[in-house]
């Protein structure tokens, strides 16, 4: 039986890989840090190593050096997973028998194609269309499913929900599942059941706090016809779903939905952009504590943009990232930011965008970025009473937002959610 060694500091990511690999009759060993990885590499002599490049204190480089100097381990092929890696760092990996480097968020289908080639073992992969995204806004878990119900990505969904619950310390889970660009039929019933069971079991949300946002008639009929889903509401109105969950009410959709403006086809029928295929996952250790030390390496040397006419917001975000090594660039108008965003030399890892920013407004800036195919991760900012504006931002493709007044802890957690991506 072939032996795989996984070296990664994310417990949930390790667990996902372990379950998937063991399901294909592979023996899997886990290492939680560099010291543990070196020890197990020497004692096990695995057939393959899967390793995160961003281990604490440059631990991955030490593992590679130890591997190369030991004649018993130098031949072992390695797959590297890295959130950000430049050409110079890639060239440094050449002498260490690194077979493939996958940028995080990892496309799991491509990962398992490579594993199959290296291990000469077939893996069962669901190749059907499917995009899954998960974010938390206002302590509501937003799950967007597009194009289809891919079973492998539904497996990942379970781990993502758990990490978000830990990161935001959510005690009363509320969930909105948005099904967009998707039309289901009776043949999709097993996958729909898997989706619902995953959401219920992972979130532990009470049925009355779960909303399914869709215009698909099959979904409505499927949930209505199953007693085990009693209490879950199927709606076609995002405004209603958000307001209802925030208020903690349990009114029925067929009564309250008529009072709200129906959202357009932008959410429920628009094709999701290719770059949204990635699913965001954070390290569980970060999720529990969100400590500075755990994310310092991933933030170092990153460029972060802040687009807001409030100097206090500039200072707050700069202070939040001061000790991480990230460079924060402040812009007072949308025009200033768009000029920088259009410059090929300015690559922003993250953008905080006030949707009420003067001159070229936030919404206009979003439209321009979409038109120019500029795909920086964006966290929208707005005043506390402007929920309508936030929902409009979601409709325009923004997946995460923060409501003012801002707190450093909230800024940091939202950044972890956005930047610490495994899937």
- Give pLDDT, residue 139: 87
Q: Are 135 and 110 within one domain?
A: no
Tokens representing 174 are 């509320």
Residue 148 belongs to a domain = yes
- Give pLDDT, residue 420: 74
Q: Are 269 and 295 within one domain?
A: no
Q: Are 145 and 253 within one domain?
A: yes
Last residue of a domain, one of 274, 299, 333: 274
Contacts of 67 (CB under 8 A, 6+ apart): 41, 49, 73, 74, 76, 78, 96, 97
Number of domains in the chain: 3
Q: Are 383 and 354 within one domain?
A: yes
DSSP of 285-347: HHHHH--HHHHHHHHTT-EEEEE-S-HHHHHHHHHHTTTTT-EEEEESSHHHHHHHHTSTT--
pTM of the model: 0.81
Last residue of a domain, one of 95, 119, 143: 119
Q: Are 137 and 177 within one domain?
A: yes
Q: Which domain holds residue 61?
A: 3-119
Q: Are 409 and 294 within one domain?
A: yes
- Give pLDDT, residue 87: 86
- The domain that contains 398 carries what CATH number? 3.40.50.2300
- Give pLDDT, residue 12: 85
CA–CA dist 77, 48 (Å, integer): 5
Residue 260 belongs to a domain = yes
**Ranges of residues in the chain whose predicted pLDDT is under 70:** 57, 248-299, 344-346, 358-361, 374, 384-390, 421-423
pLDDT by residue (tens digit) across 185-213? Answer: 999 999 999 999 999 999 999 999 999 99
- Give pLDDT, residue 286: 36
- Give pLDDT, residue 193: 97
Last residue of a domain, one of 70, 91, 119: 119
Instruction: Please report how many Cα atoms fall inside a 13 Å half-sphere around the Cα of residue 182, on the Cβ side.
Output: 27
User: Is the torsion defined by CA of 409, 133, 33, 169 positive or negative?
Assistant: positive
Q: Are 408 and 306 within one domain?
A: yes
CA–CA dist 276, 270 (Å, integer): 13
Residue 78 belongs to a domain = yes
Q: Are 310 and 414 within one domain?
A: yes
- Give pLDDT, residue 275: 37
Residue 280 belongs to a domain = no
Residue 363 belongs to a domain = yes
Residue 184 belongs to a domain = yes
pLDDT by residue (tens digit) across 211-252? Answer: 999 999 999 999 998 999 999 999 998 888 888 887 764 444
Q: Are 107 and 56 within one domain?
A: yes
- The domain that contains 211 carries what CATH number? 3.30.750.24
Query: What size, in residues, is the chain?
Result: 423
Q: Are 90 and 218 within one domain?
A: no
Residue 203 belongs to a domain = yes
C-beta of residue 199 within 8 angstroms of C-beta of residue 175 = yes
User: What count of other Cβ atoms lies within 10 Å of the Cβ of residue 370?
Assistant: 13
Residue 125 belongs to a domain = no
Q: Are 247 and 332 within one domain?
A: no
Q: Are 158 and 250 within one domain?
A: yes
């Amino acid at each position: 039986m072939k032996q795989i060694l996984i070296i990664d500091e994310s417990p949930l990511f390790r667990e996902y890989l372990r379950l998937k690999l063991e399901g294909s009759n592979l023996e899997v060993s886990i290492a939680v840090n560099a010291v543990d990885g070196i020890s197990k590499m020497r004692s096990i002599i695995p057939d393959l190593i899967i390793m995160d490049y961003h281990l604490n204190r440059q631990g991955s480089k030490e593992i590679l050096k130890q591997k190369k100097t030991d004649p018993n381990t130098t031949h072992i092929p390695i797959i590297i997973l890295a959130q950000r890696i430049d050409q110079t760092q890639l060239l440094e990996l050449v002498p260490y028998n690194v077979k493939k480097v996958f940028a995080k968020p990892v496309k799991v289908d491509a990962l398992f194609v490579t594993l199959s080639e290296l291990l000469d073992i077939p893996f069962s992969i669901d190749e059907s269309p499917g995009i899954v995204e998960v974010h938390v806004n206002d302590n509501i878990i937003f799950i967007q499913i597009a194009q289809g119900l891919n079973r492998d990505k539904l497996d990942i969904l379970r781990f993502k929900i758990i990490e978000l619950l830990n990161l935001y310390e959510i005690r009363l889970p509320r969930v909105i599942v948005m099904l967009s660009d998707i039309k289901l039929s009776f043949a999709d019933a097993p996958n729909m059941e898997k989706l619902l069971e995953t959401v219920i079991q992972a979130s532990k949300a009470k049925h009355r706090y779960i909303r399914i946002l869709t215009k698909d008639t099959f979904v409505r009929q499927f949930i209505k016809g199953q007693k085990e889903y009693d209490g879950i509401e199927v709606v076609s109105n995002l405004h209603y779903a958000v307001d209802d969950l925030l208020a903690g009410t349990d009114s029925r959709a067929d009564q309250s939905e008529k009072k709200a403006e129906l959202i357009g086809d932008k959410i429920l029928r628009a094709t999701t952009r290719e770059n949204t295929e990635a699913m965001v996952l954070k390290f569980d250790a970060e999720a529990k504590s969100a400590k500075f030390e755990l994310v310092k390496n991933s933030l170092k040397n990153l460029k972060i943009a802040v687009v807001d006419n409030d100097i206090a917001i500039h200072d707050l975000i700069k202070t939040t990232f001061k000790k991480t090594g990230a460079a924060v660039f402040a812009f007072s108008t949308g025009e200033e930011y768009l000029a920088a965003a259009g410059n090929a030399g300015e690559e922003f890892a993250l953008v905080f965008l006030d949707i009420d920013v003067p001159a070229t407004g936030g919404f206009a800036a979003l439209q321009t970025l979409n038109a120019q195919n500029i795909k920086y991760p964006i966290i929208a900012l707005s005043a506390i009473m402007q929920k309508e504006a936030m929902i409009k931002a979601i409709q325009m493709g923004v997946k995460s937002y923060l409501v003012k007044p801002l707190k450093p802890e909230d800024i940091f957690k939202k950044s972890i959610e956005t930047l610490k991506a495994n899937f």
